[in-house]
Structure 1
Amino acid sequence: MIPWIQLDSAKTPDGQQELRLKRRGSEFSIMLGTNELMNSRLNGSEEALAELSCQRIAGHRQPKILIGGLGMGFTLRAALADLGDNAEIVVAELVPAVVAWARGPMAEIFAGSLDDSRVTIRETDVGQLIRSGAGAWDAILLDVDNGPEGIVHKGNDALYSVAGLSAARTALKPGGVLAVWSQGPDAGFTRRLKQAAFAVEEVNTRANGKRGARHVIWIATKAS
């Protein structure tokens, strides 16, 4: 069996934990401690995050999308495939090393998507962009943790609170959607979305097509 090789590491924003980029043959993994945050072989649910969101805003003119978390770019590439030339996608990534990995060791996986004219990369907290303006976005896609709880950055807890969700609703245009990826269900988060006045769908999806672990995507819609 081909062994894993660690290519690089980076501290999380609080300086308390370490992200590690590893490679085994053509396969990449990003680890947080002993937890695997993402793997280049498992992309189905991350792509579904974009596909489900783009379906809900298909009638929007010149859609503007905010993606929280660059990861391995699966959500970004799926959004680019679904959206037209007049779309604008802003990706917020809090850890600069993740952007460097995308342009360096994992450049082949990203397949030039970071250089698409529709894409802007912001090395900043997605929460800051959410709070920066009302009615700014047609869709906000969050895949910054393994679920609605701050893991990589404890400050992300605020994103999933009623106050944070209300801020996301304010940031959306009428008919806009907030989509949140999770490794599993969370009834409390569903309740908070409803408390923030969203219409909520909870979609079960697979990590890799019809196989792999079951993941959950919340599609929360702001009334038109």
Structure 2
Amino acid sequence: MGMSRERGYHHGDLRAALITASFELLAESGLRRFSVAAVARRLGVSSAAPYRHFPDRDRLLSAVSAAAARDLRSAILTAADAAGPDPSSRLASVADAYFRYVVSTGAGLHVIYAAELYTVPDDARRVETRALMETVLDLAFAADAPSYQQAVALVEAIIAAAHGYTSLYAEGFFNRGSSSVDAIAMRAVEAARALIRAQTGR
């Protein structure tokens, strides 16, 4: 069965399938259990098949990082537009987008900026991660963050709060029977609003 499935991937399809399966594995098991072999098993292909596209774990993770940065940025822009014209609401929506994205994919900033990727040369990843941070910083500046350093600190605090909610949710801290993703996302947004008011007064 593994061989027949493997033969079904061609003309670059396996590369895309490996990235998709990586997200599924991250969502289920986290970064510590992420490996090329585990991704291959998930797809039902030979352990050698992924290495035709990615020479090692870090190269595969780098491709996942680029895709995650791109998709998270898109989710943030969508959430900001849905939040309306108020700059503080648009910035607070980052927490909503981040929480929902990480709960569904497992790929938060701990994956996007994984320490093992610092020495991996990947221009595509660098373009996507830079665009992600520029987008979030632009939202912070629009909400009257007084300086670049304070904008960075505010963004870090908002993402840290949202990431904390994702971790608690994943670990079963909340009663999932009564606390839906929507409810916890709203708590993350309220935490972001409090952080924004504390720094900007808005």
Q: Note whether the superposition's TM-score is higher than 0.5.
A: no
Structure with max Cα Rg? 2
Counting helix residues as a fraction of each chain, which structure ranks higher? 2
**TM-score normalized by the length of structure 2:** 0.34
Identify the structure with the greater strand proportion: 1
- Name which structure has the greater RCO, CA cutoff 8 Å, separation 6+: 2
